[in-house]
Structures are given as structure tokens and as C-alpha cells.
Structure 1
């Protein structure tokens, strides 16, 4: 094959990457924008685990938005042999690739932070209070680590002109001699597959939240205006325990404190109406 030739065949993998991947990208942008909007406008976004999910959806929007310009256009320029499309892609792909990697890396660390908090809640760790009161610090560290480790990608990619192929879609190339000589097809197929699975994971995040997390489902449905919060909703319940009013919102998200305070408040040992309501809410 001539050095200036590119694989312009519209294979099954290419069709899946272009059509299915682009559809997942659009769905993911819409879903994660809805999640971010719902959580960012919630009054308790910085006092519970919503902070992790809000930032996670924010970075997922960047990852999903970058899919079509970086992956889909890359295939289309080769299939269509479009020189303007190729020249535009070579100019912006390095920056967008760096943005994508920064967003994905930050997302991984945010998920790690949320998992650590959930682990502390489950095990009733003595570090639970520290983890819950330092969410903003952990999120900031995650973002800085992502920027420090992945942003330099834009400077690491050596975009070199290919003087023998001027006027074609292959007039530039990235200096990856080892991959081109030995494993180029495997590298490209693996990259496409990983990108496709990443988009699929981002796109299904909203359905997973809606089906598995009652608090998030309530926040999103209320934000869309489909129903008003019920009078006995978790976010507005105030129970009287022997003259002491307990607001359940923040404590409910901590997972453990409501039951402990309830037991301390009711020393009679009887199952009161308030306790029944508490059990139904949780």
C-alpha cells in the first residue's frame, strides 16, 4: 500500500463507531447535562455525595462532546477522502484529545472518592466525618492530578508533515513508528473499541441513577417539573422526638446517623408513629 493511502473502507467496525458511537455520544451529552443541571441547582449539592456526581456528570459532558470531533470525524475524513475535513481534524485533535483525557482521569478519581466515602459509611469507619467534610478538597485534588498528568498530552504528540502526501488526507502524521510498523491495525481497533465503550458507559449513567438511586431520581424528576415533592419527602421531613426537632436531610445522606439519633431520642422502647415514618422514609 502506498504511504499516502489510507483505509477508506466502511467496515462493520467503522459503521458501529460512526453511527452507534455518535448516537451514544449525543444521548450522553443530553443525559449528563440533565444530571449536572439537576444537581447543580440543588440546595444540598455541597453537603452530600451529590458533589461527586455533579462534577462527574460535568466531565462526562466534555468526554461525550469530544467523541464526534475526535473519533467520528477521524473515520469520516478517511472514508470520504475529504481534504478540508482532514486539515481541520489535524489542527484540533491534539487539544481535544488532551481535554478528553483530563476529563476521563478526573472522572476516575471522583468515582474513587465517592467509593471511599461509601466504604466508610458501610464499615462505619472513624474516618467517615473527615471524608464527608473534605469533599471539596478531594474533588480539587482529583482535578489537579488530572490536569498535571494528562494536559501535557497536547505537547507530547508530534504532528509531522508528510511532504510526499501533500494535498491528501495523509499529509500529516503522528510520530508513532512502533505502532505503525508492528501493531497499527490492532492499536486503531482497540482505540475505537475503548472509545465506544466509554461513550456507552457515559450514556447509561442517567438510566442507572434513575433506577438505582431514589434520592437522585427524586431530584431529577422534581427538576423536570413532573411532580412536586411530597409532604413527607425526605428533603422536608421534620420529626419530633420528645420535643426535639430533627431535620433528616443531611443525616439521611450520611446513611447511619438517622437511626442512631432515633434510638437515642426514643428511650421508651416503643415503636412510635415517628419511628414508623422514619423506617418508611429510609
Structure 2
């Protein structure tokens, strides 16, 4: 049964930011693990619908080698075909200098790099050690900044690693600060396998000292993504990554349910009276439309309630 309506807004609490930036990752992180290749025209319409719903940061694609992520092999064509809108950013993920070359050729203005907080994942995902990954990132960041690009740094496995277990807080902070010192303007703290709890979130953010350059990226494997997001907001973080319709999965943990759904996030933010600029009905329509293209229901609880 469809929900009766949208949540009533309440006065924003003093311990929360008045405005939240939603960093939409559906077109990149959400689609990259899809086994069947999604048509370019569908991806372009998806991104355009997300912008029409009010999202102002939409991570469009990745210049990872097509051998590793076949779903995003059309990155250059996608960027060439985008109907870009004023006031909307379309960042792309780049893994190395070759990826940066391709991004620059496509005229991007925002890029992201993807680091690891643990030794094992750095070796498995980047073929680098925890320390030597920075040798790969340094020229990417320095060249991108010299070209006038904004650079975001992702840190994966922040709260737990399937091979190493819990990750020491000081290890996460060391990796994160190296990326910020290198020139990243923002750091997204990733709960890659969805094991974080609010107390861990508070501990990590507090250890950084200031939340101004931090964003959070939660997966909902254990149903904690919204609770963790609220904890981050209470710590002063004002940028939250999310994926329309809850698209995306985690290949490193059984029963992982993917990214925090943007609709679920918006429903909570509306209930808290926090500004975000997104039209929930348009967004839910977009995710329901995308679900039909993928041939399965949206995992977002809010999409199910509003469009079920």
C-alpha cells in the first residue's frame, strides 16, 4: 500500500546542520556492479532525471579500465552526451594518471580518487600497499589541482575490513589526513561493507578534529545506514553520499544490501526539517523508472512505500 503522504517538517535541531548536501552516487557506484550492461541512453536519462529532481552533485561515471568495470566502459561517451545543467556538478572517479588524462580530455571539472584505509584492501583493489597507494594518487591530485579541478578523496574500509576486521581509528585518520594534505578538498569516509554503528561513526569523526572537510558514505548491510548518517550529522558533517533507489551492492560481504538509498535519506532529512533541495516525489518516480529498466524492484523502503 502506498504511503499516505510526505512527513511533516519540524524545526531543525540546533545540533544538526541547517542544510545537507546530497552527493548522488547512483550512476557510478550504484550501477557499476550490475551484471547486465545498462544502455547509454538509459544512463543519460537517469542522470537527467536525477538533476530534474533537484540533485546538484551527481557522480556520473568512472574512468577505471573497462576490463575491471565493463559497466562503465562508456564513460567518455556518457560525458559527451550529458545534457549538463547550470549549478549541477558531474564528478567522475579516476584511479590513476591515465584515468585523469581521459577525464581531462572529457572536460570534467570535478574528480574523485579512491583510497583504502587497510593494507589488504589496498593490495586487492589497487595492487598497492597501504603506503605506496599515495605514490599513485599524488601526481593525480597535483595535476588535477593545477588544471583547476576540485578533487575528492574516498577512503574505503573505514569502519571494518572483511580480511582484517575492525580498523584502528588512528590508521583511518592517518590515511585521511594524507589525502587532505595532498590537496583533496573533501574526504568521504566509506563504510564499504556496511558494518558501522553510530558509536564508531562518532569516534572516527571526532578523531579528525573538524568535520568541515568530511563526508560520509554508508552501506546498509546491517540496516544501520540511516542511524549512522544521523550520528554523522550530529557530529557536524553536512555532506552525505547516497544512491537513488538504493542501487549498488557490496561484493565483499554476503547479504550486503548496497548503498544508502537517496529517498530514505531525503525522507529522514524532511522529517528533521533540514534543507537539501530534492523533490522526493520526482526522485521516487526516477528510481521506480530505473527499477523497471533493471528488471527488479527498488530496494529503497521509501520507494516501495511511495510507489509500491
TM-score range (shorter-chain normalised) is under 0.3
TM-score (norm 1): 0.23
TM-score (norm 2): 0.21
Larger radius of gyration, structure 1 or 2? Answer: 1
Q: Which one has a larger percent strand, Structure 1 or Structure 2?
A: 2
